[in-house]
Amino acid sequence: MRDFVCLAHEVPLDGAASLDDLPGAGRLDLLARFVTSALLTSHGVREDTAAHLVVRDQFTVRVDGATVRNLRPDERSTAARLRDALDARDGAIGHQEAEPSPGVHVGRFDLAATLDRLDGPLVQCHEAGTPLPEESVPEDPTFVLSDHRDFTDAEADLLAERADARVSVGPERLHADQTVTVAHNWLDTGGYRTY
Give the binding site for ligand SAM (CB under 6 A).
Answer: 125-127, 129, 145-146, 148-150, 168-170, 172-176, 179
166, 180 contact by CB (below 8 A): no
* Residue placing its CB nearer to ligand SAM in the complex, 117 or 148: 148
What's the closest the beta carbon of residue 180 comes to ligand SAM, in angstroms?
8
* Residue placing its CB nearer to ligand SAM in the complex, 66 or 154: 154
Which residue's Cβ has the minimum distance to ligand SAM?
A: 146
* Residue placing its CB nearer to ligand SAM in the complex, 109 or 186: 186
How far is CA 10 from each of CA 34, 58, 188, rounded to the nearest angstrom? 15, 12, 32
Measured CA to CA, the distance from residue 29 to residue 31 in angstroms comes to 5
* Residue placing its CB nearer to ligand SAM in the complex, 108 or 148: 148
What's the closest the beta carbon of residue 15 comes to ligand SAM, in angstroms?
26
C-alpha 169, offset from chain centre: 16
CB-facing half-sphere around the CA of 96: CA atoms within 13 A: 5
What's the closest the beta carbon of residue 122 comes to ligand SAM, in angstroms?
13
What's the closest the beta carbon of residue 6 comes to ligand SAM, in angstroms?
8
Contacts of 48 (CB under 8 A, 6+ apart): 1, 2, 65, 66
